[in-house]
Amino acid sequence: MLFIAPSHAFAEHGRPHGHGLQRLGLDPARLILVETKNEKQALWAMEEALRSAVPAAIGGTVAKLDLKASQRLQLAAGEAGLPLLLLRPATIEDASAAATRWRVGAAQAARDRFGLIERTRWNVQLERCRNGRPGDWLVEFDHAAYRFSLAAALADPALSRGADAQSKLLRRVG
Amino acid sequence: MLCADVSGTPRVSATNAAAEADGIRIGEALADARAKTENLQVRAADPAADDAALRRLALWATRYTPAVAPCDEKSGADGLFLDIAGAAHLFGGETRLIADLEARLARFGLPARLAVAATAGAAWALARFQHATTILAAGAERAALAPLPIEALRLSAATRATLRRLGFRRAGALIDNPRAPFAARFERELLRRIDQALGRTAEPLTFILPPPVYHSLRYLMEPVAAQEAVVAIAQRLMRDIVHALTRDGVGARTLRLALYRLDGGTQTIDIALTRPTRSAPHVARLIALKLERGGETSAETLDAGFGFEAVGLAIAATERMDEEQTDLVSGDASGERGEERCAELIDGLTQRLGPHSVQRLAPVESHLPERAEMARAAGAEGIAWPAPDAARPRPLLLFARAEPADVMAQVPDGPPRRFRWRGVLHAVARAQGPERITAEWWRNGTEAPTRDYYLVEDDAGRRFWLFREGLFARETAAPRWFVHGLFA
């Protein structure tokens, strides 16, 4: 697993912390961090890594991504058959050739009866998807089982039903 | 002529041919020299620049043999030793090599005195005290050195003065006399120098570049300047070496590509690999990536000048490399091959992006979060991580430096209620903690205050890792707050 980011992104958002990655069920020893001087180099590194088809998955972050660059990456990822996950600032709405676009937001975590965080939750929105329907879900992570799941019982029954209906859709897209 | 200050008096330190004709000798006072001749041009001597120039020349001279040693004070100042054993035949013999070297140096405008001998000491003496270029057959050192003055033996000034006072003028007198009285009367230096010159003891030379294990050099009919051409030649050189590598069961770990410019300059490109390799295309690709990076940083850009006339590839370090065991049925060895391809990817990224850009995280035994892990080169062996402690939350993203935040807390040593970080006000919905982490007092000079870490969730569900530095009332009156990390 490879994570590629320009150095200013590491300075702004912080560096991935091995002990924190472990808590999400990722083995930090298997992660290779690539720090580049600028975004152009980061894009080059992503394409290079995709073409080599060595890593199991590639993550990265870039702020500027024009349509042509995203087409190149999409092509390389398609040829290698590898997933490339690009983390981008939430404000960006420009066109891209990516297969899917997700918007991940924070959500109040589930609490146990002592008010401690039991399962952290996120609002996940699928905004764009080739051959699929967009939708949004509330996803939670179980620290004990290292497993992501859809938050089942919510306070709002309408939302809860929505989540059930859309879980089928997630399977179809995935 | 050049002059340098010797104990307060400017003295002549180097002369050219015209000054020597006027009778100016090295070592005399500048005032005396001025009295001997009018229109004397004097420049201050610059030993550092001389040294640098000699090093440059030594690098260039590696085009003849990889073993080049610039003479230092210990081995007898200003000059170069070239170990041409096993290299002379490539030039058609010692005579041809010397003629080629002399012609090239003359083209740079460098007058040189050259000598070939079986020992460094004898060559040194002949180059300095024999006017014609000499090539001495092995075994003839004694006869050749005998008529030379005792200075030819590379002795210290004090020893030389004593010998002169005793009436010794020629090296031959020292060599022929019985050794015991010399051993009793003089420092060991005298006999050691004689033995070195005659080849009775070995003289270790400090080569400017570590002598390579494998080496391949190609002289070009036409000088090349284009990057593609250089890369293509490097690939051909690597292919030449691969046979030797395969024969010995090793792969290259450290490579150096040396480019010899027409005007005497030398450019070297060093490449370190994560895993030993024998693949010529891989090496060529790494060289191309390194040169491309040079285009951006200008530190290692290809400066061809009038073109390169020779290209050498040396392998400075090797490592055992087992033959690949390919699966007979499927024709590939996926596990081993995958590891090798991973190393190739890391090498490629490192060459292009710089040495510290490709990293792997390794755990460190420390309570302080910022010390609890370190980045290591990606090629290094991975270290197994300890199992996480569920009671101690750790953020997904950690800031290299904790960022200060303005915090409102109900009580000075309680959890935060509201905080302002990066100009945005966050209202705390829940705070979990504190987890108290003390500074590592056993380290020298760490008087850092205790930290209380809180896992804080704001009303939008964003999770932060805040800490308060200093225990209220015990360590500080006004504790400061910092944001140290972000949770997923």
Confidence tier at B165 by pLDDT (50, 70, 90) = confident
Q: Is the pLDDT confidence value at A161 over 60?
A: no
The reported pLDDT for the residue numbered B248 is 83
Note whether B457 contacts A17, CB cutoff 8 Å.
no
**What is the token pair recorded at B316?**
């400075």
Percentage of residues in chain B with pLDDT exceeding 70?
Answer: 90
Q: Is the pLDDT confidence value at A87 over 70?
A: yes
Same domain, A136 and A83: no
Mutation site, A1, A12, A23, A111, interface B, largest B CB count within 10 A? A23
- State mean pLDDT over B316-321: 81
Sign of the alpha-carbon dihedral angle for A31, A34, A35, A38? negative
Q: Which of B349, B383, B397 sits opposite A13 (nearest CB)?
A: B397
* Max intra-chain CA distance, chain B: 99
Same domain, A89 and A120: no
Percentage of residues in chain B with pLDDT exceeding 90?
Answer: 0
Same domain, A37 and A87: yes
Among A61, A81, A98, the domain boundary falls at: A98
Note whether A35 contacts B349, CB cutoff 8 Å.
no
- State mean pLDDT over B61-75: 74
Q: Is the pLDDT confidence value at B267 over 80?
A: yes
Answer for the pair B291, B230: CB distance below 8 angstroms, yes or no: yes
Among A55, A76, A98, the domain boundary falls at: A98
Q: Give B-chain residues touching A41 at CB under 8 angstroms.
A: 352-353
Quick: pLDDT tens for B202-260: 887 777 777 677 888 888 888 888 888 888 898 888 888 888 888 888 888 888 888 88
Taking the CA of residue B210 and the nearest CA in chain A, the distance in Å comes to: 32
Mean pLDDT of chain B: 80
What is the total residue count of chain B?
488
Q: Is the pLDDT confidence value at A171 over 60?
A: no
Quick: pLDDT tens for A11-68: 888 888 888 888 888 888 888 889 888 888 888 888 888 888 888 888 888 887 888 8
The reported pLDDT for the residue numbered B72 is 65
Same domain, A2 and A83: yes
Taking the CA of residue A99 and the nearest CA in chain B, the distance in Å comes to: 24
Cα A151 from Cα B435, distance rounded (Å) = 29
CB pairs under 8 A between A and B: 153
Please tell me if residue A27 touches chain B, with a CB cutoff of 8 Å: yes
CA B473 → CA A135, B411, B452, distances in Å?
52, 12, 14
Note whether A20 contacts B338, CB cutoff 8 Å.
no
Same domain, A70 and A140: no
Q: Give A-chain residues touching B384 at CB under 8 angstroms.
A: 29
CATH code, domain carrying A57: 3.40.50.300
Taking the CA of residue A24 and the nearest CA in chain B, the distance in Å comes to: 8
Which range marks the domain in which residue A132 is found? 99-174
Same domain, A137 and A52: no
What's B319-366 look like in SS3? EECCCCCCCCCCCCCHHHHHHHHHHHHHHHHHHHHCCCCEEEEEECCC
Same domain, A83 and A148: no
Same domain, A109 and A163: yes
Q: Is the pLDDT confidence value at B330 over 70?
A: no
Please tell me if residue A102 touches chain B, with a CB cutoff of 8 Å: no
Confidence tier at B74 by pLDDT (50, 70, 90) = low
Phi (first) and psi of residue B438, to 5 degrees: -90, 155
- State mean pLDDT over B457-466: 86
- State mean pLDDT over B157-184: 83
A31 or B49, which is more confident: A31
Same domain, A104 and A94: no
Q: Is the pLDDT confidence value at B7 over 70?
A: no
Q: Which of A33, A41, A143 sits opposite B375 (nearest CB)?
A: A33
Domains of chain B: 2-44 (no CATH), 52-198 (no CATH), 214-352 (3.30.1490.100), 397-486 (no CATH)
- In this predicted structure, which of A54-63, B112-121, B321-330, B335-344 has the lowest mean pLDDT? B321-330
Q: Is the peptide bond before B416 cis (omega within 30 degrees of 0)?
A: no
Same domain, A167 and A143: yes
Q: Which of A35, A52, A111 sits opposite B357 (nearest CB)?
A: A35
Please tell me if residue B364 touches chain A, with a CB cutoff of 8 Å: no
Answer for the pair A31, B376: CB distance below 8 angstroms, yes or no: no
Phi (first) and psi of residue B215, to 5 degrees: -150, 140
The reported pLDDT for the residue numbered A170 is 35
Which residue does chain A place closest to B367, by CA atoms?
A19
Confidence tier at A173 by pLDDT (50, 70, 90) = very low
Q: Which of A17, A31, A120 sits opposite B397 (nearest CB)?
A: A17
Note whether B388 contacts A19, CB cutoff 8 Å.
yes
Number of CB atoms found within 10 A of residue B256's CB = 19
Confidence tier at A76 by pLDDT (50, 70, 90) = confident
Among A98, A115, A147, the domain boundary falls at: A98
Could you say which residues from 41 to 100 on chain A have a Cβ atom under 8 Å away from some Cβ of chain B? 41, 44-45, 48-49, 52, 54-55
Note whether B363 contacts A20, CB cutoff 8 Å.
no
Same domain, A26 and A89: yes
Note whether A48 contacts B461, CB cutoff 8 Å.
no
Same domain, A50 and A27: yes
The reported pLDDT for the residue numbered A157 is 43
Would you say the ipTM is above 0.85? no
Percentage of residues in chain A with pLDDT exceeding 90?
Answer: 0
Q: Is the pLDDT confidence value at A152 over 60?
A: no
Q: Structurally, how many domains does chain A consist of?
A: 2
CA B285 → CA A61, B271, B310, B351, distances in Å?
26, 11, 20, 10
Q: DSSP E strands: which ranges in A62-115?
A: 84-87, 100-111
Taking the CA of residue B291 and the nearest CA in chain A, the distance in Å comes to: 15
